Amino acid sequence: MLEPIPGEPAAIAECGPERVLVVADYHAGLEVGLRRDGVEIDSRAARRRESVLALFDRHAVERAIFLGDLGDSIGEPGREERTELRELLKAVTADVPVTVTKGNHDGAIETVIGGIDGVDVTDGDGIRIGSVGFCHGHTWPAESVVAAPLVCTAHEHPLVRLADSVGGRRTERVWLRGRLDPDGFSGYPEVGEELVVCPAFNDLSGGTAVNEDDGFLSPFLPDGLADGEAYLLDGTRLGPYRRA
């Protein structure tokens, strides 16, 4: 079972053996890339870190899972990103162990975690903990992940673009939930029941507008998500994501 934390781009997963805090697409150091593109923006590293740590104050868990793209650099992280990552991981592992399911932006994450106890890094095909399979979603998951009753993935940064009563437009992060469709995982001997796509924790990261014509990035989406519905961070149910 996975329950989003109301108002937060994070969730609690009841996996059976462990109760796990789930955070996806943290993208530490994102501001560095924005500055290279000419956007003047101060670092939000401390704000992001404190937002995560505040979740531990409110929710008792045995583990934290960063569901891929913990960092932002495709390759070797630069100084600012490396500092943010190490400060975050040191702070979190002071409370609970951490698992990082590698995303496409985490290619050199192992070079960051040296000397920090309590951090495990999985391959890109993910990990299963009890009844929940976790993967970033940029590549095909392991068979054990897809066979879990609940599969939790990320990578898409799902968004909806909504019109208000006076014709304005706003963009909101959303959760996607639905039945795991075996047709989207035709090469797998066993598939689970439910698929959840997590929103990006980093609110600067942009994403896929699922109620417009934006194409999905994951190789198993949208085919692997049947009857998918969108939910705002506050829990508001928007219905089928294509019509949200």
Asked whether residue 29 carries a pLDDT value surpassing 80, the answer given is no
Angle at 70 between CA 86 and CA 121, to 5 degrees: 80
Range of the domain at 123: 2-243
User: Mind listing the pLDDT tens digit for each residue in 72-85?
Assistant: 877 777 888 889 99
Supply the mean pLDDT for the chain. 90
pLDDT at 114: 84
Place of tokens 């639905």: 178
Number of domains in the chain: 1
Positions of E strands within 119-203 = 119-122, 127-129, 132-134, 150-153, 158-163, 169-180, 194-197
Asked whether residue 213 carries a pLDDT value surpassing 90, the answer given is no
Cα separation, 167 vs 169, whole angstroms: 7
pTM of the model: 0.92
Q: Is 181 helix (H, G, I), strand (E, B) or coil?
A: coil
Q: DSSP secondary-structure letter at 139?
A: S
Q: DSSP secondary-structure letter at 4?
A: E
Asked if residue 115 lies in contact with residue 47, where contact means CB atoms within 8 angstroms, the answer is: no
